[in-house]
Structure 1
């Protein structure tokens, strides 16, 4: 249904994330991938979804002068929001270890914002999912980091990996959002966008 509605458009996914790319394939969309390096810097005054909205739009703005009349660009950003602080991708192993220690035994939010843009129109929206971790031992954290190397993931974990099977006790909201894209919302917004 969506594929048919968008057949005259060129869908551009501006993400290097294999998980987001797979979601677009699973939606049966014809799309291309375009990447740009964007420095993800934001004001300390921004909180929670304000951060992800800002970064998703910042990424989309990088493509503004390049969009054709039939292009639909999709950008996104995900953070883990915990104890009034954004946890993005870890800087290094120690940073990842500390992030997982801070999440251990607690509930946090995974926030993803998506920006859908054409030359003339913008639609930015977000999804929040609450995730509760069991208590993690230092050995479990070390095992996970050594074997799965989640250094490209917000909050230093991938829910679809070992840690999601053994350490997450509860999810309130969209599982796909925690993986990296609120696919159901993307689908609905694309249906009504054109």
Structure 2
């Protein structure tokens, strides 16, 4: 099993996201959580998965000088990609409302990158899921933002919450990737170590 295979590693998840904590826990591996503040700014010329790859690697940077020989750091980043632009986390109510208005009656991509960093290597991979929303009414958007406060979520929504249940009509790819962690790919990559 994976836990036996990884027993030589001290796995550190660098994420504040309760969803990521739950998802990595579901792989039945031991890990600890450490976080450091990182300004999530990327070069403007980056597009699509290049953005999330860059940010996942950037989030590992503050840790690299502290990593011990057997440490394995996991960092990740998720964006929503719509009309050739990235939607990150909303700044406030209006920002969230505008994002959900844009996602309404449209198809977008959710891109998550994961970076595995040790003292000796860094490996980054990503996953893309296509998601289609029905036409959302202003009342539905307002209710969702006020009730669920999705300010920590890329694209201002959580697929596992009310809006995902009532609004998503079609999806192609991993559900867990949309939640922010493509655990199937993480499992596959960790199995290769």
| TM-score grouping bracket, smaller chain normalisation | over 0.9
The whole-number CA distance in structure 1 between the counterparts of 2:145 and 2:100 is 10
Q: Secondary structure at the match of 1:124?
A: strand
Does residue 117 of structure 1 match 2:117?
yes
1:103 Cα deviation from its structure 2 partner: 0.4
Partner of 1:71: 71
SS in 2 for 1:63: helix
Tell me the matched-pair count: 193
Q: Deviations over 1:66-90 (max 9, x none)?
A: 1000001000000000001100000
Give the match for residue 104 of structure 1. Answer: 104
Local SS of the residue matching 1:47: coil
Secondary structure of 1:136's counterpart equals coil
Note the alpha carbon deviations across 1:120-157, whole angstroms, 9 max, x for none. 11110000000000000000000100111111000000
Q: Which residue of 2 aligns with 1:19?
A: 19
1:49 corresponds in structure 2 to 49
What SS is found at the alignment partner of 1:62?
A: helix
Structure 2: distance between partners of 1:89 and 1:68 = 32
What 5-or-longer segments of structure 2 have no aligned partner?
none
Q: TM-score, normalization: structure 2?
A: 0.99
1:160: Cα distance to partner?
A: 0.1
What is the root-mean-square deviation of aligned Cα atoms in Å? 0.5
- Counterpart position of 2:187: 187
Structure 1 residue matching 2:45: 3-state secondary structure = coil
Runs of 4+ in structure 1 deviating by more than 2 angstroms, as ranges, are none
